[in-house]
Structure 1
Amino acid sequence: MTLLYHPDTIAAIATAPGRGGVGVIRVSGQDLSAIVAGLIGRALTPRHAHFAKFKDEDGSVIDEGLALYFPGPNSFTGEHVLELQGHGGPVVMRMLLARCVALGARHAEPGEFTKRAFLNSKLDLAQAEAVADLIDAQSEAAARSALKSLDGAFSREINTLVEELINLRMLVEATIDFPEEDIDFLEAANARGRLNELQAQLARVLATASQGRLLREGMHVVLIGQPNVGKSSLMNALAGEEIAIVTDIAGTTRDTVRELIQLDGVPLHIIDTAGLRETTDTVEQIGIERTWRAVDKADLALLLLDSREGVTPHDEAILERLPPALPVLRVFNKIDLTGETAGVVGETEVHVSAQSGSGLDELRTRLLHMAGWHGANEGVFIARERHLDAIRRAAEHLINAGHAFHALELFAEELRLAQVTLNEITGEFSSDDLLGVIFSRFCIGK
């Protein structure tokens, strides 16, 4: 493995901002001898914890704690890494970091430690992204899936597909290069069947990755409807606490109220909005404008309806104004006042009582179904929208390859493009711009 050592040394506080019992300074570079000598004054045994006093330039003690040294390439970044574990006060941490900088390091950029691990082939790009996803996980299911990606589960799926593509490309190239041979390489090797199997494998990976994207990013659900149909009551019932103010006065909710809830480990960003009606109240008008902006950004709309009145002309007007591509679930509320039975009717209708809780379990199940969630699965790995986009583009190239099966040059080119597209996921072929965007979203010290 060839390591891409950087000429400079980087340092950062690796623990979260604020006070804590322990704080960690992380340093990575090609030569850390000056920093170790200046801070600790003695050599460190690799991969052993040493109790030490961390000293300032004048010999005074800044702090005391543990020092660990990991020589490259057997470290997280592939470079020499030093970790200083001291007391977690922000002042002490800043003093230790300043001392490292004075001894020759510079402040690390966001995600720079993980970026160096990627550039030094310690992680591929999908694994590097999983580091940030594990830190940002909003549920236990998301954390477990991120850990699977960090362990390489997603990358192995992609690499298996790439290997199959390479084998198929070899057959096509052999047929192109030796047209005078009597052997039909493609026919003998069942190239059509292998292409079909590749398409089926890619579809399975896309389905699993889609589940992983849901765990990572969740779904934005907007509650809309006329005033007093129970939007705020439903939000409180789903959240399990009093998030939104509930009164009998129409127009109580004048701004969007957001709450994150989890259903089966899937994050749902629920947005309660102002009731949609004609009004001369300036503040309420602003709230209604914000409602429509929230609708434009939503993945799913819950249209709350009063079960006593059914779908009114005003409700029809709301439905007509919704974006055509936005899925809508009609929720008939207040069935406790009508005596109706709770439950799901068809694909896009649920009858509930936010007051009594009747029908809420059916609503939760329907929400997960419309989100595309098929239930917790140990095989789910975390994924991002860019991964799904690459898989979809690769699938299109395989479809095109099938159409060009007897035009060998075109067939070979579509297979090559599918391979290049899949390699974007693991970083086999990635632009510097893409790397800059990905790692800039990491936290400092990681």
Structure 2
Amino acid sequence: MLYFPGPHSYTGEDVLELHGHGGPAVMNLLLKSCLSAGARLAQPGEFTLRAYLNNKIDLVQAESVAAIIEASTHEAARCAVNSLQGHFSARIEALVSLLITLRMLIEATLDFPEDELDNLKTLQIREKLDHIVAQLEQTLAGARQGNLLQEGIRIVLAGAPNVGKSSLLNQLVEEDAAIVTEIPGTTRDTIQRTIILGGMPIHIVDTAGLRETGDIVEQKGIERTLAAIKRANLVLRLLDSSQHQPAAPDPIKQYIPDDKPQITVFNKIDLRNENPKIEEDEHNSSIHLSAKTGAGIELLRQKILHLAGWQFNHAGEGIFMARQRHLEALTLASAHLQNAQEYTENEYQLELIAEELRLAQTALSTITGQFTADDLLGEIFSHFCIGK
């Protein structure tokens, strides 16, 4: 038995840990004995929630505990530890401090006489506001990178039967994850594999070929393909370059929404003795490769990282392990600050500027938990593992 007296324990409360030898049977007996004595099982994330409520850590640090447990790469684990140590929180608190100072300067002038505009110019309100916006954009960029590092992106391979989707999956994951045959319609269900590309997790989904069919089983596979495309961050639209006619209509294009990010992949260049290449215009990116020989695969990997917006940083400097709610809060704060900038363009509208700054501060405060609704706390900690 190890006793950790508060407030120096993880939760800030008095904590007793029981350590038992043996396998699961012995531990289950110990657990039953504790429950019989009046203890209860911990809720998901309860220990970290107690640490947060007792001001041992803020909300960003609490979420970093879960991020460390869920980390799928060394880079993700390193960034999660940085956030747990308070680097992300310190950046948010610095932004809030700058906002508070600026709000104080603006609101202090609201009761001033007619020379308030000259006072505002002397205080360099616009310059200070621009500085905060620049700092926020830098933080948002680091948060987006951290979100990619934690969540990765979901890529779906889509195309007609027998264009080489399964072969491309096998090349990307460097293993025989999918069965490859010359028979069209071999893949009837989605197959997902995760690879690490430049330190970022990439979730690749191979799907059933898209075509009109009367086969009930194949129809079910196509339904799952369409569902996977809907959830994807990026679609690789495969075409058989040995059979593709530029003037012919693409039967697959109708299945992919126009606003869905995608790369057109012309496969089987080995059948035409072509060299791999990449073609780009303002609307589309196309890569010519061979999933059979591997020619052009590296071009595809680099293009995927580019479209994902990933910038690999070995040191992890300036990257914060951010979740989707953090990105939404930072984006909302950025929008309010941009509104405040607009109110300084022609004439200073003090009340509106002050209100936009207040809303930006509120949005940032939800990140660290200084202003957080109880229902949001329930949502956050419900995703933790049992106990910790």
TM-score range, shorter chain: over 0.9
**Equivalent position to 2:74, from 136, 140, 160:** 140
Is residue 228–residue 275 contact of structure 1 (8 Å, CA) maintained in 2?
Answer: yes
Q: Which residue of 1 aligns with 2:377?
A: 435
Change over 3 Å in CA distance of 1:214–1:435 after alignment to 2: same
Q: Which residue of 2 aligns with 1:82?
A: 16
CA–CA separation in structure 1 for the residues paired with 2:145 and 2:118: 41
Aligned-residue offset at 1:313? 7.3
CA–CA separation in structure 1 for the residues paired with 2:22 and 2:119: 65
Matched AA of 2:62: A
Q: What secondary structure sits across from 1:413 in the alignment?
A: helix
1:391 aligns with 2:333: no
Q: Percent identity of the aligned residues?
A: 55
CA–CA separation in structure 2 for the residues paired with 1:314 and 1:127: 55
Encode CA deviations 1:297-350: one digit per residue, 9 max, x unaligned. 111000111111235677623223311220110111111111111132226111
Q: What secondary structure sits across from 1:86 in the alignment?
A: coil
Matched AA of 1:368: L
**Equivalent position to 1:216, from 135, 147, 150:** 150
Q: What secondary structure sits across from 1:261 in the alignment?
A: strand
Aligned-residue offset at 1:384? 0.6
CA–CA separation in structure 2 for the residues paired with 1:317 and 1:396: 40
CA–CA separation in structure 2 for the residues paired with 1:182 and 1:292: 60
Q: Which residue of 2 aligns with 1:357?
A: 294
Q: Which residue of 1 aligns with 2:174?
A: 240
Aligned-residue offset at 1:98? 2.2
Q: How many residues align?
A: 380
Indicate the structure with greater strand content: 1
Matched AA of 1:426: T
CA–CA separation in structure 2 for the residues paired with 1:314 and 1:76: 65
CA–CA separation in structure 2 for the residues paired with 1:445 and 1:95: 18
**Equivalent position to 2:195, from 255, 258, 261:** 261
CA–CA separation in structure 1 for the residues paired with 2:124 and 2:362: 23
**Could you tell which deviates more after superposition, 432-441 or 341-350?**
341-350
Q: Which residue of 2 aligns with 1:407?
A: 349
Is residue 305–residue 331 contact of structure 1 (8 Å, CA) maintained in 2?
Answer: yes
**Could you tell which deviates more after superposition, 372-381 or 193-202?**
372-381
> TM-score if structure 1 supplies the norm length?
0.82
Change over 3 Å in CA distance of 1:172–1:360 after alignment to 2: same
5+ residue gaps, structure 1: 1-66
Is residue 195–residue 402 contact of structure 1 (8 Å, CA) maintained in 2?
Answer: yes
Change over 3 Å in CA distance of 1:315–1:209 after alignment to 2: farther
Higher relative contact order (CA 8 A, sep 6+): 2
Matched AA of 2:111: D
Matched AA of 2:362: V
CA–CA separation in structure 1 for the residues paired with 2:151 and 2:247: 35
CA–CA separation in structure 2 for the residues paired with 1:433 and 1:96: 34
Q: What secondary structure sits across from 1:267 in the alignment?
A: strand
**Equivalent position to 1:164, from 91, 98, 102:** 98
Is residue 264–residue 376 contact of structure 1 (8 Å, CA) maintained in 2?
Answer: no
Matched AA of 1:260: T
CA–CA separation in structure 2 for the residues paired with 1:92 and 1:172: 65
Larger gyration radius, structure 1 or structure 2: 1
CA–CA separation in structure 1 for the residues paired with 2:357 and 2:114: 23
Q: Which residue of 1 aligns with 2:211?
A: 277
CA–CA separation in structure 1 for the residues paired with 2:196 and 2:169: 13
Change over 3 Å in CA distance of 1:80–1:181 after alignment to 2: farther
Change over 3 Å in CA distance of 1:252–1:313 after alignment to 2: farther
**Could you tell which deviates more after superposition, 79-88 or 197-206?**
79-88
Matched AA of 1:292: L
Is residue 175–residue 184 contact of structure 1 (8 Å, CA) maintained in 2?
Answer: no
Aligned-residue offset at 1:403? 2.1
Q: What secondary structure sits across from 1:143 in the alignment?
A: helix
Q: What secondary structure sits across from 2:371 in the alignment?
A: coil
Q: Which residue of 2 aligns with 1:424?
A: 366
Q: Which residue of 1 aligns with 2:220?
A: 286
Q: CA RMSD in A?
A: 1.7
**Could you tell which deviates more after superposition, 278-287 or 129-138?**
278-287
Matched AA of 1:410: L
Aligned-residue offset at 1:385? 0.7
Q: Which residue of 1 aligns with 2:160?
A: 226
